[in-house]
Structure 1
Amino acid sequence: MSAHLLARATASLHGLALGDAFGSQLFVPANRHAFSSRSLPPGPWQWTDDTEMACSIYRVLADHRTIDQDELATNFASRHDFDRGYGPATNRMLRLVREGGDWRTLSAELFDGKGSWGNGAAMRVAPLGAWFADDLQQAVRQAALSAQVTHTHPEAVAGAIAVAVATAVTVAEPDLPAGHFLDRISEHVPASMVHDGITEARQLLTISDPSLAAQVLGNGRQVTAHDTVPFTLWVAARERHDYEAAIWTTAVAGGDVDTTCAIVGGIVAVAEGIRLPPQWRRRCEPLPDWAGAPSLDPEPAP
């Protein structure tokens, strides 16, 4: 296994988990003041299904260096913790997979045979983009494979591709201006509402107010890929060299905050010079041992 691939994916996974855990705290009514005051919610911060599923992607890549869909489905099902905030359709599907159901049939049958167009495939994919950052076409193919295990709708697949490519481009082309960053992503995202949203996000780069941008692009409130991914890429394009600024910018727009922060965190964590803030790390729940992800470098002394 190439050490640099693992290191990149590890950095993305830790950034994703930290964003997810931070965002999950902002659903707690007592912590809502953080939106306006930008004060950190008290710890510990627990991560959600976003991180649990990202850990399965990481584990499969570490073991196989590619997305083995059967192995990924088995990992998703066997590691499934009902209390992590999964949606009802995913809860049911993963339970049936554990009971011997065929994930291909179950995934395709969701939502009257249309498949899920939710943001679940996008929320977990950033470490894959980091892994395949040296080959954008491979990042696209592997992201699609990872999505299809639970999300067969083209919008969900497009959302996963967009986030994976955004992470890969953050690694491979660190100095791209914000507009060119979004252009590079758009080149690889198939025609879809997600693609249209990224085009719209590029037009909104001159706007500095994330709430206004989210009014146009969505903030994940509908829990769909096209209501989630364009806004997260708008944030990443503008703030990908400052982890704290990126996560706060994402969070203040509201919506599906744990998922939007997970996506942004997974992308921004692989930018040049990024170190995850020690104060935040101390509050965050550790990654599960089964993921096999190395710990980050020790925190600097306070």
Structure 2
Amino acid sequence: MRERSLASLVGTAVGDAYGERLHLERRRRELSDPWRWTDDTEMACSVFHVLDTHGHLDPDALAASFVAHYDIGRGYGPGVDAMMRRVEEGASLRELAARSFDGTGSWGNGGAMRAAPLGAWFTGDPARAATEADAAARVTHTHPEGVAGAVAVAVAAAVPPAELFDAVLAHTPPGEVRDGVRRAADLPDAAPEDAAKALGIGRRLSAPDTVPLALWVVARHPDDYEAAIRTVAPLAHDVDTLCAIVGGVIAGRVGVDGIPHGWLRATEPLPSWV
């Protein structure tokens, strides 16, 4: 499923870059060409790279790739930036992640934002996608909700649209993420603004207030990349991450040809090491 995973990675990057550009426009910041992607894509590249070289998600290899390719200019959160400074001093990234937030781990959306290419790699095997996503998330996010967010996105990317909510609910562990996905499944005909109000828009940068809306939009536009991105972007607070998740899940299904060509051309290419 390498081709689907790579398409998902490209879809993640384009969605991420589209969302980041909108974020900059909202804050009247200087815009650059090409559209630049953020840490969401950089970390997703490591996920793809490890799968491509190992055939499965090796947590130690993923941690090493995160460290090797860390670029502070990509807009990482303060938690990751702080951990990377400690890693430079000889600490272990995985151990730091487990000790973060007084040992509870991060429940942020960082595990979810990079999970779509992993799910696409294991298309047709949602149980395997869930297991591998759990391992991938724990490299930086060990809180149960942070892990659950990654699992939910990976499973969504691994199954056909008609099976999305049933599969995600079957494989996502109980908690706030799963409860949010259940609410999303119960809102098939809601207006986007009402869905956003009920599900969250990423304002807390957490998995529970990011993943449910992303999957609601995917279910609403399962095979239409542009419509999905244009639906979620105006609603989102954490706009680059929501667009990255939505774009990654849908692109794994529709392929690179399903992404608007103008957006593809405008987005900076993936790094050469991918």
Matching residue of 2:70: 80
The equivalent residue for 1:201 is: 184
**Residue in 2 that maps onto 1:261:** 243
d(CA) in 1 for partners of 2:157, 2:89: 35
2:2 alignment partner AA: L
Within a 5 Å distance, the mapping from 1:1-302 to structure 2 comes to 5-29=1-25, 43-169=33-159, 173-174=160-161, 176=162, 180-207=163-190, 209-272=191-254, 275-291=258-274
**Structure 1 Cα separation of the partners of residues 124 and 219 of structure 2:** 20
Secondary structure at 2:91's aligned position in 1? Answer: coil
Unaligned runs of 5+ in 1: 33-40, 292-302
Q: Indicate if the aligned counterparts of 2:46 and 2:65 stay in contact, CA closer than 8 A.
A: yes
- Percent of matched pairs sharing the same residue: 52
Task: Quote the residue 1:296 is aligned against.
Answer: none
Structure 2 vs 1, CA of residues 188 and 102 (structure 1 numbering), >3 Å: closer, same or farther?
Answer: same
For each residue in 1:153-209, what CA deviation from the matched residue of structure 2 results, as whole angstroms up to 9, or x when unmatched? 00010000000000001xxx25x1xxx5212211111101000000100111111x2
2:158 and 2:27 mapped to 1: Cα distance? 33
Unaligned runs of 5+ in 2: none
Change (3 A) 1:105 1:30: closer
Work out the CA distance in 1 between the residues paired with 2:234 and 2:26. 16
Amino acid paired to 2:246: V
Taking the aligned partners of 2:97 and 2:110, their CA distance within structure 1 comes to 13
Distance in 2 (alpha carbons) for counterparts of 1:30 and 1:252: 10
Query: What is the alpha-carbon distance in structure 2 between the residues aligned to residue 90 and residue 165 of structure 1?
Result: 25
Deviations 1:43-98 (A, max 9, x none): 42100000000000010000001111111111101111101110111111123224
Alignment partners' CA distance in 2, 1:204 and 1:42? 37
8 A Cα contact 2:63 2:94, kept in partner: no
TM-score by length of 2: 0.95
How many pairs align? 271
Which amino acid in 1 is paired with 2:244?
A: A
Q: How many Å apart are 1:135 and its aligned residue?
A: 1.8
8 Å CA contact 1:25–1:31 kept in 2: the answer is no
Question: Which structure has the larger Rg over C-alpha atoms?
Answer: 1
Q: Give the Cα separation in 2 of the matches to 1:60 and 1:98.
A: 22
8 Å contact 1:67–1:145 — kept in the other structure? yes
Superposed displacement of residue 42, structure 1: 7.9
The DSSP-based 3-state class of the residue aligned with 1:271 is: helix
SS in 2 for 1:113: coil
State the TM-score, normalized to the length of structure 1.
Answer: 0.86
